[in-house]
Structure 1
Amino acid sequence: MRHDLFRSGVLIALSTSTGWIGWSGDVLLLPIAGAFPMLWSLARTRLQGTAISAAYFLAASRGLPQGVANFYSSDIWPGLLLWLVASSAFVAVHAVLWTDRKGWRKPLRYMAACFAMAVPPFGILGWAHPVTAAGVLFPGWEWWGLGAMAAGLIVMTTRYRPAAAIAMAGFWLWSAAEWTPPILPSSWIGVDLEMGASLGREAGLKRQKELIEIARAQPPGTTIVLPESAIGFWTPTVGRIWQRALTDTGIIAIAGAAIVDSQGYDNVLVKLSADGGQVLYRERMPVPGSMWQPWSAWIGDQGSARAHFFANPVVDVGNQSVAPLICYELLLVWPILQSAFHRPDAIVAVGNGWWTAGTSIIDIQRASSGAWARLFGLPLVISFNT
């Protein structure tokens, strides 16, 4: 009995460390998350497998309680509750699919769990997916690298796990020695802002002029990317203000905004230039709970953001095709893979992370987007507000 308790404690502690270190926000530490399937497979009971899964996910998403407290200006308790609720999908999937059967059943079960957490509906809460590390271990391998990473994770649940661990460690060391961050596309620039919670909420003429000055300070012909929610509510008047300001500059601005109607709102990216303004991208997966509230229609509340799950995976900006990702989408798997399937020329990642102060959430989003960009060999433009 004591031996079983000791074994359980060690596996839970290792799983906690795996989630904590792997998702610390350093892109080169992402491969540590690849140890999770091994720890999960070493559980001797379903309860142990459940505890190991919970320890990994809760450690990986440890910034959520503080982030929720910042967002709602509340104490830590609502954040702790949401933290536990958010872990439910990951823990439930891995608990249900855990098995003590030998042979092919355990790797097949893990493969099912891996797939389930990558796509909706469970993939809606599919943060901290170990497959994200594919871009670190196999940069430039594209879909072959994704397949190699998935195969490595599956083998980690078998008795051949030592060979898989050694092979993955070798690729990790080789990649770390040669690592270079994703490059910027030619004539593109991502601007990080430090406007706090006021960004998107103060959308008057003064704020528009401040952002326009930032855009006009760029060289002619530049495409500038501004963070999520940068220009606030999207209206024809805002479009005309930007159109006049960018006349004769050759500058294109891509900025976050919100489109509100009687049924809710869309979190979007808009394209602004001397030719006018247009909606470029509608967010596929807004943050569940704080933005996307599918239950709101049942109670007559029309304040929810809409989720366009598989819409507009790539958009055209000039002669380039880009894969847009807004904030929460940077933590998930299917949005970037859907976009990559359409072979974009670059990835554009934006966020409004003022509420993440005191956490590593933005660092994790940057690491995830960097890993995916390196996997597919794509330039990356990042723009965040803090």
Structure 2
Amino acid sequence: MRREHLQPTTLIAVSIVAGTLGWSGYVLLLPVAFAFPVLWALARTRRTAAAVSAGYFLAASRGLPQGVATYYSSDLWPGLLLWLSASTGFVIVHTVLWTKRKGARPCHYLLAAVLMAIPPFGITGWAHPITAAGVLFPGWGWWGLAAATAGLMGLVTRMWPAVAIVLAGFWIGSAATWDEPKLPKSWQGVDLEMGASLGRDTSIERHRDLIATMTDRASGGVRTIVLPESALGFWTPTVERFWVRALRGTDATIIAGAAVVDAGGYDNVLIAISGDGARLLYRERMPVPGSMWQPWRPLLGESGGARAHFFANPIVTVDDSRAAPLICYEQLIVWPILQSMVHDPDVVIAVGNGWWTKGTSIVAIQRASTQAWARLFDKPVILSFNT
């Protein structure tokens, strides 16, 4: 191999390793993602910066092709196409903003980080290195976010070795004292293993089974029980009456995922149910692009698809608590959790229906990402997933 090819090849290979390890689903490995800005800055050409960006992002999102194939019961080609398409925004932003001027790199990287955190580029802003802020600076809140941002900017300067050593020190200290956020005694998240049938089996028997499971859990001081995304299927007046009647005489409040459908499309939502009634608690801000959110449909005169409520309902009230809800895809991107944290919630609720991710690390990454954000702001997190 020629010497001029060795450096780019090495950078690309290391970026793939960084994306693979950083987004393996282990929360304490998230800081490995901080290697990306170093590799991006070490690129000598814009073409190498593009390849480094692609290698990192594609490695981080490597479970997507298999997951899409499972979801649509198809071969890998649609998943591969979506995988490559999803990387486009990340690669374009980091390629355009790469610069040979070393003095300008921190500001250019900061702009890239901001663009990948908010819409429109932030819609596919997976694998954002800033997610590791909660591992490096647990409990620091907004100061920790600022410190992590400063660290990312420092990693694209000539002083990156010194910055990396400082960040590694925080990482080691955090790993040595890491503990999971304590759950409120009155809350409980329930994981299910119902596969693709959850949300699709709308029979009365399925609802009875879920209610039996919930009433068994509503003991020992537990008053609020969280079920996964899509647990209730389509939310109808009949389903509402059935659940409300079943919960009468209990102090339990059930928070569960459902779909509210009308002529124009549907909302992916969370419903709060108790013996006193039910209410729509939360509308998902960012459904999965492509499979759920399909903004091109109205342009073609078609209806259908999930609606995106980009900056709506960042906080919801459950009993006496203020909660920050995150449904599935929202756990992989940046702005929903930060928008919620502006309002200083008491607890984070994270639900998902990940049956289609079997054999991948997608659900583990969702859990790790949510735990990192909750740890940054020192908030308890309630997790509920179906696999």
- The alignment's TM-score, normalised by the length of structure 2, stands at 0.98
Q: Give CA-to-partner distance per residue, 1:152-205, whole Å, 9 cap, x none.
A: 001000001011100000000000000001221221000000000010011121
Residue aligning to 2:14: 14
Letter in 1 for 2:197: S
Residue aligning to 2:209: 210
Residue aligning to 1:30: 30
Residue aligning to 1:314: 315
Shift of 1:3: 1.5
Letter in 2 for 1:176: A
SS at match of 2:131: helix
Residue aligning to 2:86: 86
Q: Give CA-to-partner distance per residue, 1:35-73, whole Å, 9 cap, x none.
A: 100000000000000000000000000000000000000
Counterparts of 2:278 and 2:247, CA distance in 1:
11
Residue aligning to 1:161: 160
Shift of 1:250: 0.4
After TM superposition, list the pairs within 5 Å mapping 1:281-360 onto structure 2: 281-360=282-361
Counterparts of 2:161 and 2:262, CA distance in 1:
56
SS at match of 1:260: strand
Shift of 1:299: 1.8
Letter in 2 for 1:121: P
Shift of 1:2: 1.8
Counterparts of 1:102 and 1:188, CA distance in 2:
50
SS at match of 1:112: helix
Q: How many percent of aligned residue pairs carry the same amino acid?
A: 64
Q: Is the 8 A contact 2:259 2:268 kept in 1?
A: yes
Counterparts of 1:155 and 1:304, CA distance in 2:
42
SS at match of 1:281: strand
Shift of 1:301: 2.3
Q: Give CA-to-partner distance per residue, 1:63-102, whole Å, 9 cap, x none.
A: 0000000000001111111100000000000001000112
Shift of 1:131: 0.2
Counterparts of 1:370 and 1:176, CA distance in 2:
14
Q: Is the 8 A contact 2:68 2:356 kept in 1?
A: yes
Residue aligning to 2:130: 131
Residue aligning to 2:261: 260
Counterparts of 2:318 and 2:128, CA distance in 1:
30
Counterparts of 2:153 and 2:229, CA distance in 1:
36
Could you list the runs of 4 or more consecutive aligned residues of structure 1 that deviate by over 4 angstroms after TM superposition?
none
Structure 1 portions without partners, runs of 5+: none
Counterparts of 1:301 and 1:184, CA distance in 2:
44
Letter in 2 for 1:209: R
1:41 and 2:30 are equivalent in the alignment: no
Counterparts of 1:4 and 1:303, CA distance in 2:
52
Structure 2 portions without partners, runs of 5+: none
Letter in 1 for 2:20: W
Residue aligning to 2:67: 67
Q: CA RMSD in A?
A: 0.8
Q: Give CA-to-partner distance per residue, 1:320-363, whole Å, 9 cap, x none.
A: 00000000000000000000000000000000000001100000
Counterparts of 1:20 and 1:148, CA distance in 2:
24
